[in-house]
Structure 1
Amino acid sequence: MVKTSLLFIATALAEIIGCFLPYLWLRKGGSILLLIPAAASLALFVWLLTLHPTASGRVYAAYGGVYVATALVWLRYVDGIKLSVYDWAGASVALLGMAIIVMGWRGE
Structure 2
Amino acid sequence: MTAVVYPLAAIAEIAGCFAFWGWLRLGKSWLWLVPGMASLALFAILLTRVPADAAGRAFAAYGGVYICASLAWMWAVEGVRPDRSDAIGALLCLAGAAVILLGPRS
Per the TM superposition, whether the score is higher than 0.5 is yes
- 1:100 aligned partner: 99
CA offsets per residue over residues 57-76 of structure 1, 9 Å max, x none? 10011000000110011111
Distance 1:73 1:32 in 2: 26
Q: Deviations over 1:37-86 (max 9, x none)?
A: 01100100110111112210100110000001100111111111121111
Cα-Cα RMSD: 1.4
- Taking only the aligned residue pairs, the percentage that are identical comes to 46
Uncovered stretches (5+) of structure 2, i.e. residues with no partner: none
Q: Amino acid of the residue matched to residue 64 of structure 2? A: G
The residue identity in structure 2 corresponding to 1:66 is V
8 Å contact 1:5–1:66 — kept in the other structure?
A: no
The residue aligned with 1:61 is 60
What is the 5 A alignment of 1:17-28? 17-28=15-26
CA distance in 2 between counterparts of 1:12 and 1:20 reads 12
Cα shift at 1:32: 1.1
* Contact 2:75/2:81, CA 8 A, preserved across alignment: yes
Q: CA deviation at 1:103?
A: 1.2
Distance apart, 1:107 and its partner CA: 4.5
- Residue of structure 2 in register with 1:40 after alignment: 38
TM-score when scaled to structure 2? 0.91
TM-score (norm 1): 0.89
Displacement of 1:28: 1.5
- Name the residue aligned to 1:81: 80
Structure 1: unaligned runs, 5 residues or longer:
none
